Chains A and B, each alone.
Chain A
């Protein structure tokens, strides 16, 4: 029986890796991957805590929802990235700074 804290450690590690990727990568797709990392860390937490849910597997249900939504979000995001690439000829987020003052 693996204790709950192990899940939480792995989840925190995943989240941190994702965060790092989001903050440092110069590629939009890698940032997207970082986001997925953080999302999956959250989902992992859902699943881990659902063991303590004696009445209904609410956590697992939420996890499934989140996975589905993540897939949809990835699809949309990839489409945006494609359009950005078409427009700017780059997907480096540091170069796309037209919103600055």
Chain B
């Protein structure tokens, strides 16, 4: 069975794919494989197959795949949404001159996403994690001729790298402590994590012991990785900018799948987190959810609204993870993937049409600005209805899937905070407020786009140009809209406990504080409906739309809490400053040092040269000239004159005799 899935997956990275049909076929095959897998694995023992990948010293790295409920549900989700987005893209991207690159990148992304969800090894997950980030980088910068797209993909990449750093740190701590990166042996039922105990401030594992603080640090490191990937508070600013990519990509990657990878990672390493880390996760999630929702209130770009909405919903998932509501988090991930994907695709259809209108009418306006839209209900009924459904799901109105998952999170959050410190109580309340804000901003979007009158060019020809999205896009929207409704996930429209998805995932026995179960959904929905009605009044009837645009709160929200500016002013400026000072340091100290070193070298070589010339050469030359002068001296004896020889001989004999005489 894993083999089949591997085959299906290996088909996907159609690098040479030039045509859409091949890509769609591949993704369909993998969807079929994922469905079969899902049928085989769901609610049955997990399949875990591995082989030895490589070994360093004594430790062998095993690579393999791990299929349990969590991974098959995500694989199915990814395959399904990817297929829909592929079909959608055949129309949406039609005519783009680099379409084959688009398919290739999309294939790469799908491949890495599948790899991410099914591998069993932290190192492999890290590799696929990087691949996912990289393909996202490629796709954000797909329209690389746009300056803003290039800046956005750079930003996304850098932010993601920061998170990857955290992930890697976590991996290293894990490896140091346990000597393995295998998920089953680390996080399984009787895995090393569960066996490791904390005693006397020490974190004791089988082979290795380190101070307790490292347990927290490891948890935080993994969380930091997830923060970057899932666009949580300190590192969320890349996601709105990532909307520079094609809308279908935003839908697949930045709404449904990739950003969920962070949540998925937290799900995989869940047993690692101790109490502190979980609290930080919950707090970050709650804060991010609230912040992003408040920003979404005032944005005007249709995709940016959805992006902040995504951040906000991811905050919800993080929150759920943090409070121990593991199953609701994954449940929300799945439902959110469907309705947010639908929202994006519908928005894509709207943008598509507005773009056409812009081209045809020759007007110059921002085709993503909701202030320019309005009254599209008439022209695009399908899009309107599907998007309305998705919005209802996002707002958590009963009978939708979003209601089930969001209320699951909210109820568990309240139950969790019951016995906690008062700070912890802020978490569920901020989540509550966030869900109200969500209802308001998403219906602000709906009303502005689909109701009222078109705000640009009241000319007659607009009616002729604007029309429903093409079939390929339309039916995708319809299919997704089906998945926003409750029956897909639960038999009962109001009670999330009956959801098959929740029951398939490990979850705590829900404590019987049943008053929450009625009070919370009721509060949420009554207030949400009131807010929607208010939005309707403000934006459709234009009855009493108060003008907040002067207040500082509005500005605060519109400028995205000034975080982008803050980052620019602090981190970017600081980095630039550091690099500038590094440059001058380089110039003043390093270069000077290098130059001085060079000069010393020259001086040394002068000395060496002198020594060479006058001492070494001198010795050699001296020996030579000594031999020469000896030769010159000796050559005098060989004059060729007999009489000289004779004298010499005589002298020698005389000396001989004199010596002999003296010796006696």
Chain A residues within 8 Å of B, Cβ to Cβ: 19, 22-24, 31, 93-94, 96-101
B635–A22 CB distance below 8 A = no
A101–B647 CB distance below 8 A = no
Q: Counting CB contacts under 8 A, is B643 at the interface? A: yes
A98–B647 CB distance below 8 A = no
Those of B628-658 within 8 Å (CB) of chain A:
635, 638-643, 646-647, 650
Within the complex, which residue of B635, B641, B643, B650 is in contact with A101, where a contact is CB–CB below 8 Å? B635
Instruction: List residues of chain A with CB within 8 A of the CB of B641.
Output: 93-94, 97, 100
**Which secondary structure dominates chain B's binding surface?**
helix
Instruction: List residues of chain B with CB within 8 A of the CB of A93.
Output: 641-643
From A31, A98, A100, name the one whose CB has the most chain B CB atoms within 10 angstroms: A100
B643–A100 CB distance below 8 A = no
A23–B640 CB distance below 8 A = no
B642–A101 CB distance below 8 A = no
Bound complex: CA A43 to CA B643 (Å): 24
Bound complex: CA A19 to CA B650 (Å): 10
Bound complex: CA A94 to CA B647 (Å): 14
B643–A97 CB distance below 8 A = no
Residue of B nearest to A98 (CB): B640
Chain B residues within 8 Å of A, Cβ to Cβ: 635, 638-643, 646-647, 650
Instruction: List residues of chain A with CB within 8 A of the CB of B646.
Output: 22-23
Bound complex: CA A93 to CA B643 (Å): 8
Within the complex, which residue of A23, A24, A97 is in contact with B639, where a contact is CB–CB below 8 Å? A97
Bound complex: CA A22 to CA B642 (Å): 10
From B635, B638, B641, name the one whose CB has the most chain A CB atoms within 10 angstroms: B641
A23–B635 CB distance below 8 A = no
From B635, B643, B646, B650, name the one whose CB has the most chain A CB atoms within 10 angstroms: B643
B647–A100 CB distance below 8 A = no
A99–B643 CB distance below 8 A = no
Instruction: List residues of chain A with CB within 8 A of the CB of B639.
Output: 97, 100
Instruction: List residues of chain B with CB within 8 A of the CB of A22.
Output: 643, 646
Give the shortest distance, in Å, between B43 (CB) and chain A (any CB): 115
Bound complex: CA A24 to CA B635 (Å): 22
Give the shortest distance, in Å, between A51 (CB) and chain B (any CB): 26
Instruction: List residues of chain A with CB within 8 A of the CB of B640.
Output: 96-101
Bound complex: CA A78 to CA B646 (Å): 19
Bound complex: CA A22 to CA B647 (Å): 10
13 contacts between A and B (CB under 8 A): A22-B643, A22-B646, A23-B646, A24-B643, A93-B641, A94-B641, A96-B642, A97-B639, A97-B640, A97-B641, A99-B638, A100-B638, A100-B639
Q: Given A93-B641, A93-B643, A100-B639, 6 more contacts at CB 8 Å?
A: A23-B643, A24-B643, A31-B643, A93-B642, A94-B641, A100-B641
Bound complex: CA A14 to CA B613 (Å): 63
9 closest residue pairs by CB, A with B? A100-B640, A97-B640, A99-B640, A101-B638, A93-B642, A101-B635, A100-B639, A97-B641, A23-B643
Instruction: List residues of chain A with CB within 8 A of the CB of B647.
Output: 23
Bound complex: CA A59 to CA B647 (Å): 29
Give the shortest distance, in Å, between B644 (CB) and chain A (any CB): 9
Give the shortest distance, in Å, between B530 (CB) and chain A (any CB): 129
Instruction: List residues of chain B with CB within 8 A of the CB of A97.
Output: 639-641
Instruction: List residues of chain B with CB within 8 A of the CB of A96.
Output: 640, 642
Give the shortest distance, in Å, between B23 (CB) and chain A (any CB): 98
Give the shortest distance, in Å, between B77 (CB) and chain A (any CB): 107
Residue of A nearest to B642 (CB): A93
Give the shortest distance, in Å, between B295 (CB) and chain A (any CB): 108
A94–B638 CB distance below 8 A = no
Give the shortest distance, in Å, between B563 (CB) and chain A (any CB): 101
Bound complex: CA A33 to CA B638 (Å): 25
From A19, A24, A99, name the one whose CB has the most chain B CB atoms within 10 angstroms: A99
Give the shortest distance, in Å, between B260 (CB) and chain A (any CB): 103
Give the shortest distance, in Å, between B68 (CB) and chain A (any CB): 105
Bound complex: CA A23 to CA B640 (Å): 14
Bound complex: CA A97 to CA B638 (Å): 10
Give the shortest distance, in Å, between B413 (CB) and chain A (any CB): 116
Give the shortest distance, in Å, between A77 (CB) and chain B (any CB): 13
Bound complex: CA A31 to CA B645 (Å): 14
Instruction: List residues of chain B with CB within 8 A of the CB of A31.
Output: 643
Bound complex: CA A101 to CA B638 (Å): 6
Instruction: List residues of chain B with CB within 8 A of the CB of A19.
Output: 650
Residue of A nearest to B645 (CB): A99
B643–A94 CB distance below 8 A = yes
Instruction: List residues of chain B with CB within 8 A of the CB of A99.
Output: 638, 640
Give the shortest distance, in Å, between A28 (CB) and chain B (any CB): 9
Bound complex: CA A94 to CA B617 (Å): 42
Give the shortest distance, in Å, between A5 (CB) and chain B (any CB): 20
Residue of B nearest to A100 (CB): B640
Bound complex: CA A98 to CA B643 (Å): 14
Instruction: List residues of chain A with CB within 8 A of the CB of B638.
Output: 99-101
Residue of B nearest to A22 (CB): B646
Bound complex: CA A94 to CA B646 (Å): 13
Residue of A nearest to B638 (CB): A101
Instruction: List residues of chain A with CB within 8 A of the CB of B642.
Output: 93, 96
Give the shortest distance, in Å, between B12 (CB) and chain A (any CB): 96
Instruction: List residues of chain B with CB within 8 A of the CB of A98.
Output: 640
Bound complex: CA A100 to CA B634 (Å): 12
Bound complex: CA A24 to CA B650 (Å): 14
Residue of A nearest to B636 (CB): A101
Give the shortest distance, in Å, between B20 (CB) and chain A (any CB): 101
Instruction: List residues of chain A with CB within 8 A of the CB of B635.
Output: 101
Residue of A nearest to B647 (CB): A23
Give the shortest distance, in Å, between A27 (CB) and chain B (any CB): 12
Give the shortest distance, in Å, between A23 (CB) and chain B (any CB): 6
Residue of B nearest to A95 (CB): B641
Residue of B nearest to A25 (CB): B643
Give the shortest distance, in Å, between B245 (CB) and chain A (any CB): 97
Bound complex: CA A100 to CA B638 (Å): 5
Give the shortest distance, in Å, between B499 (CB) and chain A (any CB): 119
Residue of B nearest to A19 (CB): B650
Instruction: List residues of chain B with CB within 8 A of the CB of A94.
Output: 641, 643
Bound complex: CA A74 to CA B647 (Å): 22
Bound complex: CA A31 to CA B647 (Å): 13
Give the shortest distance, in Å, between A35 (CB) and chain B (any CB): 10
Give the shortest distance, in Å, between B649 (CB) and chain A (any CB): 11
Give the shortest distance, in Å, between A29 (CB) and chain B (any CB): 14
Residue of B nearest to A24 (CB): B643
Bound complex: CA A97 to CA B640 (Å): 4
Residue of A nearest to B639 (CB): A100
Bound complex: CA A31 to CA B635 (Å): 25
Give the shortest distance, in Å, between B44 (CB) and chain A (any CB): 111
Instruction: List residues of chain B with CB within 8 A of the CB of A23.
Output: 643, 646-647
Bound complex: CA A13 to CA B352 (Å): 143
Bound complex: CA A23 to CA B643 (Å): 6
Bound complex: CA A79 to CA B499 (Å): 145
Bound complex: CA A22 to CA B635 (Å): 23
